[in-house]
Structure 1
């Protein structure tokens, strides 16, 4: 008979882990706003502005911006220009942590047009609303941006995927919708070239979305966010994050960090509570859950993307980490 205390202990550990992560994310300093609504009808597709142009329009002087899209209705896909296609449905939040160029579209094939052809250039007299498509089923998006110079959003560390989709559940789901609706209603033009909007709402929204996304990543209950600033750990983490499919050895990671194997191992264990290769396994599983949840990639393809030559080896590792094989896990976690 199973010990009834085991479930309680595990739940308590998860609660502690999420509370620690939430406290760490609360220390991030983010500034941004809701800036655009999109009303699209099937078939439709568009390509975003290049990152430097988006920064110039949204946050002049910032080094980069974080972009997010809340799906208010319908279903959409998003892909960065060199990445796989992710799907999102009503209530989901799409995040581009490095502000990468991207394409978005609906469920039917469509010619992809530049977003610059769909919207007047600034300054805007009111919050822009894009209306585009051919009159079929509708998808509504609310778009926002944030600026932050934290290493979490530094593209050199690759601590996050280029694009990921989060499906808030429980109390978070109605909170996201209500917060976005309020932010849209409260956004107003106060000068010909300046909108005033509730800045705390996008900040709180992104922190909550990040908490959900990172909850199953390795070592978030310890010093993971701090590790991204560590001169020894940051280069090794960046190498693993950039190429999770590579067959990393301790020696290669130590060379990337320009330290000895023993120092690297000691630093991983003292700061993150994990050996380097154990962290790598956890990171691969974290990426795999994102791909399984929001893309149509087959299990074998996902396995190769995260460093496993065979689907069988990947499935065994996935089940050890997540408690279920990839296919049944996907069935219970896929956005519909």
Structure 2
């Protein structure tokens, strides 16, 4: 029997106004696509192992760079952990989020050997919301699992804006009630013979994740590093705004430092401290992120995309792109589009 730790309550301070405004802006422009894709009823003792992210992407959204997983705990308790990581506990009403779909293990209060989740599911295509049942027949735990896809930098593994796994506990009140009602509606709609196909049912996973992210980011006691921290940083916020507004400009550290009225050394130090890379390295990553999105969502020629994101020649763009993604822009585009 694994001893379950107590539930510690973290009282977060009110968010800084700049961070609050930046979060609203970031969440408002998110582009998400996805679905609630299976329900699970586990009984003690139970544990499962998820596939590697590459296999999940291939199965659920071929051509995507990554996907976002979330698990809504209907009946608990249960835990989740990444390889070599600590166990994070969740109870009824909590939402487990894996923004980069890292391979993970979930289980109950009793020890059990993890079983690959793919061994417990019927093969696709599914005509109804799949139901997974597994365990030793003891106390029950119910989970609704979903995935989404987004090309937004918030979910770019390379920028690592979010922790690889976190648990959101909606506070009692409207938010928790809305999440619970939305899950009940989604499950009923997906399993009904007269399942609605309106925009509300299609967008439920998107709306759920945005609300969960809002709760997580606003209640976190500190967000000391990463892209989210940079959004509210007095030095990085205007620097990122300048780079994002004109990525094709021939930026130098000196020019960017002059734009935000700080020294070159201070700017470079702040980028490395919060974002883990130099200003020019961040600019390169951002340009390639934009190029990836343009290759997947437009039919613009590669040479046009190269100029759009700041490369003077298609050859230089191709070399940089292949270093990052392991394939030429043309070959990558063929894997990213239907």
- TM-score range normalised by the length of the shorter chain: 0.5 to 0.7
- The Cα RMSD (Å) is 4.0
Counterpart residue number, 2:132: 130
CA deviations 1:59-100 (Å, max 9, x no partner) are: 222221100000001111111124322111111100000011
CA–CA distance in 1 between the matches of 2:97 and 2:238?
A: 20
Change (3 A) 1:205 1:265: same
Bigger Rg, which one: 2
Distance in 2 between residues matched to 1:65 and 1:210, nearest whole Å: 15
Q: Does 1:55 align with 2:57?
A: yes
Greater Cα shift, 100-109 or 224-233: 224-233
Question: In the alignment, what sits opposite 2:107?
Answer: 105
Decide whether aligned partners of structure 1 residues 15 and 156 sit closer, same or farther in structure 2, where only a CA change above 3 A counts: closer
Question: Whole-Å Cα distance in 2 between the matches of residues 122 and 37 of structure 1?
Answer: 15
Contiguous gaps of at least 5 residues in structure 1: 1-9, 191-195, 235-256, 270-274, 281-336
Trace 1:45-124 onto structure 2 (pairs within 5 A): 45-124=47-126
Deviation larger for 210-219 or 77-86: 210-219
Tell me what 1:176 maps to.
179
Q: Paired residue for 1:159, among 158, 161, 169? A: 161
Q: 1:267: how far off?
A: 7.5
Query: Are the counterparts in 1 of residues 27 and 210 from structure 2 also a CA contact under 8 Å?
Result: yes
Separation (CA, whole Å) in 2 of partners of 1:172 and 1:132: 30
Distance across 2 between alignment mates of 1:206 and 1:268: 37
Q: Give the superposition deviation at 1:120.
A: 1.4
Shift in CA distance, 51/214, structure 1 to aligned 2, threshold 3 Å: same
| CA-CA distance at 1:189 after TM superposition | 9.1
Q: Say how many residue pairs are matched.
A: 241
* Counterpart residue number, 1:276: 270
User: How much does 1:20 deviate?
Assistant: 4.9
For residue 300 of structure 1, what is the aligned residue in structure 2? none
Q: Which residues in structure 2 correspond to 1:245-324 (within 5 Å)? A: 259=253, 263=257, 266=260, 276=270
Question: Are the equivalent residues in 2 in contact too, given 1:78–1:85 (CA < 8 A)?
Answer: yes
Normalising by structure 2, we get a TM-score of 0.61
Listed as ranges, the matches of 1:184-223 within 5 Å are 184-187=187-190, 198-215=201-218, 216=220, 217=223, 223=231
Q: Quote the Cα distance in structure 2 between the aligned partners of 1:47 and 1:228.
A: 42
Question: CA separation in 1, counterparts of 2:133 and 2:126?
Answer: 16
Shift of the alpha carbon at 1:51?
1.2
Cα offset for 1:263?
Answer: 3.1
Given candidates 32, 36, 39, the residue that maps to 2:38 is 36
